Amino acid sequence: LFSLIALLAVVGLFASNLRASQSPGWGVVVATNAFVAHGEGADVPVAIGATIGQGARIATKAGGALVLTRGEDLVTMAENSQITIADPQPLNATLIQQATGDVRYHVTKGPAPHFEVDTPLLATVVKGTTFRVTSGIGGSSVTVSEGRVVAKDRRSDKSASVGAGETGSVDT
């Protein structure tokens, strides 16, 4: 419980000092057994206070965790997860490609969809909400804690709205 309270305090400190629209990169506020690589470059350990930008591939290993912040937006990666911050980014939007793992996202509300998480099987588009995306060999899912997302099966192009307390999934 203490570590959760400390984590929230650190995240709150960093988040209150930035505005999402003014910061092109993501700030690292928690990093344990986490690594970043650019292009075909080697993985290097992620340091607290670092800024991670477009094109970065970020991975957590066993026992690892990583929290990124940009304004009030948060990305919280559990162990054995991998994401890439797409390069280039869509105009007025954020695109994160999640290859594997369990990642929670808290996205500030906006007037139009402006944040997307793509897995190999599932695309999740949001205007602002709190949700979790899980991606693995057997499939992908999105679970919404607050707000609503549109989940799209990348193979069939079928989409569905997923609200708070609901889960949408695509199996292989």
Residue 19 confidence (pLDDT) above 80: no
Residue 7 confidence (pLDDT) above 80: no
> Which of the pair, 65 or 41, is modelled with greater confidence?
65
Q: Which of 69, 71, 55 is nearest to 22 (CA)?
A: 71
| pLDDT attached to residue 1 | 39
pLDDT tens, residue by residue, 114-152: 999 999 999 999 988 999 999 999 999 999 999 999 999
Strand-pairing partners, residue 104, are 76, 132
Query: What is the reported pTM?
Result: 0.84
